[in-house]
Amino acid sequence: MASSESASKREGERSNMTEEELKIPVARAHFSSRLSIILTCLGTVVGTGNIWRFPRIVANNGEDKGGLVFLLVWVLFLFLWSIPMLLVEYGTGRYTQRGVIVSFRQFMSDKFAWCGAWICMVTFMIAAFYSVVLGWCFYFFVYYCANSLPETAEESRKIFKDYAEDSYWPVLTHAIAVILAGLAVTKGVKTIEKVSMVLVPLFLFIILFTFVWSLTRDYADYGLTFLFTPDWESFGKPRVWVDALSQNAFDTGAGMGIMIPYSSFMTRNNGIVRYGTMVPATNNVISLIAAMTIFSTVFSTLITTRTWMTQDQIVDILKDSGPASTGLTFIWIPVLFQTVGTFGHVLCVFFFLCLSFAGLTSLISNIEQMTLTLDDFGLSRKFSMPLTVLLIYLMGLMSALNIDILTNQDFVWGFALVISGLMLQAMVIYYGVSNFRAIVVNDFGIDDWKLPRVWEYLVKFVAPVEAVLLIVWWAIDLISNETQEGEDKWYEFGRETFMVTIVQWIGLMLILIAVNMVISCVCQGKSPGDRALLLTSAAIPEPDFSSTTVKKSLEIRL
């Protein structure tokens, strides 16, 4: 009886909807081809994290024996975390045709909009220091075009220190990075896909060229042997699991919400299950190629030029994070390429050009997320894009002026992606995991792979347990590890401490919840507007409201 009354009420609400409420007001632009979708999505996830961060993380988790165990756990999380989370993002954006915050309002309710805001803010905070690192890539590309490569690590460190720590050049290069990325989103998907069609093939070519060259070097096999040698005891170390998940999330962008705005430019004819599976898998292959390139280059060069070095000493160089994790990329790579001669100089320039292209395509997606979010709230793109660029620049100024702040921001917000993943899982569980798989993905898509039922168990049970356990392990690891002399204790406000992380997380969360509550109270009783219908005219030009799928969708939303 209650069910019948509820259905009648919903039917009445549907009949009272105006035609305008059943359609999105402005027609959306969409990707022009499948190739542009693949290259744009690939450019989003392939960035400096693959080339700059991944090899060092592998080395640090390989101890002195090898990195195979970390690679196995890392691949495991690709299927248990990254792909399931990215399929949520792809499905959400394509279905709602909106940004992150509005999507949370539609799938949940206005009072949970702060969850979407958290995802946006974490991505915003990452973009603020990421653009500073991208500025470093620009600088070193230009610098080594005009200057000779350093012969020693000490000389290389001085070059980096003179630029990044003892000058104001990072303020300018940071500005160049955000402005270039902002210009690429000026007209939304139209300019984004044009930039991606040029930059992505170029940096993929550079990566593959450098990879092939590295394998031809003498003693390159020593580096590959270390990379693929197992240290089975590592399976029992929490740090391996924490780093594997956070690195996979950082690599693929899982949990950042950046695929929601990009997939909002897709139609139901675009196979999101195919893209959501193949793009992150390809991204991991590129990360592995980057690691093989770096390990081969480091081992072959040092064995040839510094015959007195042991394997442990070579691995220590791979582990060298340097200030703000710059050790291997910005300090050692120029030194290693210098030993090759003139051709090495050319390779070094190409290396930093590749980093610049990869970082730029990733930063573009971060800026587009914030820009589309402001668009959703009524601010036209000609204002939302400059405002986003300005806010990211101002927030990133602290990291540009103080490298310790950049180190802190990388530490705090990189792992916050796990919490962002929890938010996405909560959204799907609230809406109904089966409904999301059936309606949002399978029934809504045309000529796509079917999302299997196992995905439901991953999102509903496996992924939340993973996230909670890893957060607990991460906290215990930070608190229980003995602090070396001169380093900050876990309860102090240091660069990379438990306390400084928790305070920033809780502070942001409380602010977002408070703002959400105020806005909900002010807007209470007003028409839900864009929540009237999730199926939009952009995704389905002329919806057939007599179809079973659309009827079922309307009932669930209302």
Token couple for 285:
């292959």
Cβ atoms of 304 and 119 within 8 Å: the answer is: no
- How far, in Å, CA of 299 to CA of 311, rounded? 8
Cβ atoms of 525 and 510 within 8 Å: the answer is: no
283 in a labelled binding site: yes
196 in a labelled binding site: no
Amino acid, single-letter form, for residue 478? L
Nearest residue to 125 via CA among 490, 424, 504: 504
Question: Where does residue 47 fall: left (phi above 0), alpha (psi -120 to 50 degrees), or beta otherwise?
Answer: beta
- How far, in Å, CA of 398 to CA of 394, rounded? 8
CB under 8 Å to 479, separation ≥6 — which residues? 490, 498
- How far, in Å, CA of 536 to CA of 533, rounded? 7
- How far, in Å, CA of 203 to CA of 22, rounded? 43
Count Cα neighbours of 40 within 13 Å in the Cβ-side half-sphere: 29
Nearest residue to 144 via CA among 328, 332, 359, 348: 348
- How far, in Å, CA of 85 to CA of 378, rounded? 28
Element spanning 346, H or E: helix 342-376
- How far, in Å, CA of 316 to CA of 107, rounded? 48
Distance from CA of residue 330 to its chain's centroid? 22
Q: Dmax over Cα atoms in the chain, in whole Å?
A: 84
Amino acid, single-letter form, for residue 321? S
In DSSP notation, 199-217 reads HHHHHHHHHHHHHHHHHTS
Token couple for 504:
């920033």
Sequence length of the chain is: 558
Element spanning 355, H or E: helix 342-376
Question: Where does residue 378 fall: left (phi above 0), alpha (psi -120 to 50 degrees), or beta otherwise?
Answer: left
Nearest residue to 311 via CA among 72, 69, 70, 62: 62
Say how many Å lie between the first and final Cα of the chain, rounded: 19
362 in a labelled binding site: yes
Phi/psi at 20 (nearest 5 deg)? Answer: -65, -35
Alpha helices in 416-547 (DSSP H): 417-431, 433-435, 454-457, 463-480, 498-522
Residues in binding site: 43, 46, 50, 283, 362
Residues in binding site for Na(+): 43, 46, 50, 283, 362
